[in-house]
Amino acid sequence: MDEAMHGGVPADGPRCLVTGATGYIGGRLVPELLAAGHRVRCLARFPGKLRDHPWTGEVEVARGDVTDADSVAAAMRDVDVAYYLVHALGTGKGFEETDRRAARIFGERAKAAGVRRIVYLGGLTPAGVPEHELSPHLRSRTEVGRILLASGVPAAVLRAAVIIGSGSASFEMLRYLTERLPLMVTPSWVHTRIQPIAVRDVLRLLVGSARLPGDVNRTFDLGGPDVLTYRDMMIRYARVAGLPRRVILPVPVLTPGLSSHWVGLVTPVPAAIARPLAESLRHEVVCHEHDIARYLPDPPGHPLGFDEAVRLALRRVRQAEVVTRWSSAAVPGAPSDPLPTDPAWAGGSLYTDRREAAVDAPVGNLWRVIEGVGGENGWYSFPLAWNARGLLDRLAGGVGLRRGRRDAQRLRVGDSLDFWRVEEIEPGRLLRLRAEMRLPGRAWLEMCAEPAGEGRSRYRQRAVFHPRGLLGHAYWWAVSPFHAVVFGGMARNIARAAASTR
């Protein structure tokens, strides 16, 4: 591995292999390793999944699978530190054997290649519980850690419980349960004590583990400063998210199996992932030690508390930077933010209404119509509906439609536009508006003009809504029957208006 292999970016740190770079932790670890001056190679079954990451050009990407000894051996060449961040959770029956075989291959090939350290992120296990009584998920992660520790390569096995960050399956389950259910009949495991940790602290410790002394070969428990029940986490999540206090009624009849189906009904987290996570909540998962601080001291303000970790996980939406969820653009963000490779169910609910229309006019004509929306020009669709919405907004204490626009022809970022605010503008191509009307959530409207050749263009329009609590979901479904008239009519009429200016 040389400079040409990682985009020519100068680096003098350890040469690192990252498996699972398309996953939740791996995708966030790679930029942290690069920022620390390390050289990085990613092992991926489908390298194409990495192309949307802004750091792709700075790493070497090797095609392969952790269950294929030859591809693992090739990926281990010239590697100092190998990160094992994969597991077969969600792959169905037999995942324990798959995990076992992959861990053995990884350890054997690391030793043969002269790798000086393995770093593995596993699950925190409860004290005093025999291994055979653990959930299959936790039991498999424990076994993988044991295999890597016995590989002959010094290993740091980091064990964490619930990781707080957008995209984490555990956090998404917590998010959806809390936001969608103001009144919850829950399994008894809501009283289980848990020691969650912010994803930023997990990444900090994973990066630091690359420089642990060579004689360190052991497990380390990772946790934040708060020990909470699952019920406590739901209540505190609601408070941080600005939701009304949740009423939680635990019932003993919901077994782990039944509760996983319950989670599947309430949240979009796949049952194959929700079930092992729910089963793992039967036992208390609290750190037994904090020995890693002897090698990697906690910086001021770390580890982050639960409330701060949730605030960071929700920050992306609060700053209205949801573009990565509904645009093909890859926007680098903080470790707590969504990534392009996160599953579709990660990042919270996001409702979208998409419309497009062919325009018999050049793109410049279309853009002039887009930039002229609002104010005296109106919204090109069912004026009665827009006026009624503006009146309702004023009755609710909002701004309504009375603000109009600063200039009849030109817009700039920050301009008010009736009950919208110009959030982004790319002259001739894109206008994005953020709603400032009274809503149970956040809303955006995006309008794009694209050339279509031979004096024609295409109009693309997206309305996006991020609901806040159950009321937000109810609001979207209540107004969605009118979208065909309001948003559909808007797209058709803007296209006609642009064509009439030829």
Question: Which tens digits make up the pLDDT trace of 486-498?
Answer: 899 999 999 999 9
Question: pLDDT (tens digit, 9 = 90+) per residue, 436-465?
Answer: 888 888 889 999 999 998 899 999 999 988
Count CA atoms within 13 Å of residue 257 on its CB side. 0
Q: Which residue has the higher pLDDT, 189 or 414?
A: 414
Q: What are phi and psi of 144, to 5 degrees?
A: -60, -45
What is the pLDDT of the chain when averaged over all its residues? Answer: 84
| 431, amino acid identity | L
Q: What are phi and psi of 186, to 5 degrees?
A: -120, 160
What is the residue whose two structure tokens read 């294929």? 68
- Which CATH number is 351-499 given? 3.30.530.20
Q: Lowest mean pLDDT: which of 127-131, 232-236, 341-345?
A: 341-345
Mean pLDDT on 296-302 = 94
Pair 223, 164: CB distance under 8 Å: no
CA distances from 208 to 232, 452, 459 (A): 31, 51, 49
Q: Lowest mean pLDDT: which of 77-91, 136-150, 254-268?
A: 254-268
Closest CA to 462 of 356, 333, 353, 315: 353
Paired with 312 in beta bridges are none
* Reported confidence tier of residue 52, pLDDT bands at 50, 70, 90: confident
Q: What are phi and psi of 283, to 5 degrees?
A: -115, 150
Q: What are phi and psi of 90, to 5 degrees?
A: 90, 0
pLDDT value of residue 92: 54
CB contact set of 469 (below 8 Å; sequence gap of 6+): 179, 180, 182, 241, 243, 244, 440
Question: pLDDT (tens digit, 9 = 90+) per residue, 179-208?
Answer: 877 777 667 778 889 999 999 999 999 999
Our CA angle for 295, 301, 307, nearest 5°, is 120
Task: Say how far apart CA 279 and CA 479 lie, in whole Å.
Answer: 38
Q: Lowest mean pLDDT: which of 9-13, 218-222, 285-289, 314-318?
A: 9-13
CB contact set of 447 (below 8 Å; sequence gap of 6+): 370, 373, 430, 431, 432, 459, 460, 461, 494
- Whole-angstrom Cα Rg for the chain: 26
Paired with 435 in beta bridges are 420
Whether this prediction's pTM lies above 0.75 is answered by no
Paired with 448 in beta bridges are 430, 460
DSSP output for 456-472: EEEEEEEEEEEE-HHHH
Closest CA to 285 of 196, 203, 206, 224: 196
Mean pLDDT on 161-187 = 82
Pair 440, 475: CB distance under 8 Å: yes
Domain ranges of the chain: 3-297, 351-499
Was domain 3-297 assigned CATH 3.40.50.720?
Answer: yes
Sign of CA dihedral 473, 479, 484, 489: negative
CB contact set of 270 (below 8 Å; sequence gap of 6+): 90, 264, 345
pLDDT value of residue 89: 58
DSSP H/E element including 354: strand 351-359
pLDDT value of residue 254: 57
* Reported confidence tier of residue 324, pLDDT bands at 50, 70, 90: very low
CB atoms within 10 A of CB 15: 22
